Amino acid sequence: MRLLLFGPPGAGKGTQARKLVDRYDLTQIATGNIIRAAMKNETPVGLEAKSYVEKGELVPDAVVRKLAEGAIADEDYDDFILDGYPRTLQQATWLTTFLTEHDAPLNAVLSLEVPDEEIVDRLSKRRVHAETGENYHLDVNPPPDEVDDDLIIQRPDDKPETVRNRLQVYRDQTEPLKTYYKERDLLVPVNGTGTPSDVHARITEAVEAHT
């Protein structure tokens, strides 16, 4: 099964991707996570990406493409869920060509629909476990008591000024991909509001109708 999870920052892509991984035994390919790991390890890619990520801008296509290409090839072009990739028309076009060449078309592009006000609220209250990468929300899904407070951090790009830029970048560069996938009959809008389990139930229904 080859799925793409699409949506603005804070729509719940990471949370939902993990649930789908458990349910369907897929591998999550999240370019944001790959980039953050590269930044932490100060690899050449990480050093190149850092200034873009910190400003809430997109990392150049050529850099992200290499990361995505390697990760997809590692999965034998099968049983993966892309999360946070593609984010530009150029990335999407490249992905289509790459998957077509390997006779591995996407089954569906699940588009999480969440109103703007809720996105800003979710991002400002998002906290992340520094070691496991687990996501929390201060009100809805707070970190459990046994987790060391010092390990619960706010992503630097979740600060309000950066969030505004990320949302603008999403509107300008990423949202147009909805039309791209709609034209290819792959776009499946899913209501992304409510609890993570509500959204997961809607997504699995959509997945099962399209695979």
Residues tagged active-site: 13, 87, 126, 155, 166
- Binding stretches for ligand AMP (CB under 6 A): 9, 31-32, 35, 52-53, 56-59, 64, 84-87, 91, 157, 166
| CB 208 to ligand AMP: min, Å | 26
C-alpha–C-alpha distance, residues 126 and 155, integer Å: 8
Residue type, 155: R
| CB 84 to ligand AMP: min, Å | 3
- Nearer of residues 42 and 205 to ligand AMP, judged by Cβ: 42
Nearest residue to ligand AMP, scored by beta-carbon proximity: 32
- Nearer of residues 26 and 128 to ligand AMP, judged by Cβ: 128
Query: Which phi and psi (to 5°) does residue 141 adopt?
Result: -145, 65
Residues in Cβ contact with 149 at an 8 Å cutoff, skipping those fewer than 6 apart: 143
Residues in Cβ contact with 114 at an 8 Å cutoff, skipping those fewer than 6 apart: 7, 8, 10, 11, 12, 122, 192, 193
- Nearer of residues 24 and 52 to ligand AMP, judged by Cβ: 52
- Nearer of residues 50 and 210 to ligand AMP, judged by Cβ: 50
| CB 118 to ligand AMP: min, Å | 16
| CB 53 to ligand AMP: min, Å | 4
Tell me how far apart the terminal alpha carbons of the chain are, to the nearest angstrom.
Answer: 7
Torsion of CA 46, 92, 98, 104, to 10 degrees: 110
Query: Which phi and psi (to 5°) does residue 123 adopt?
Result: -70, -35
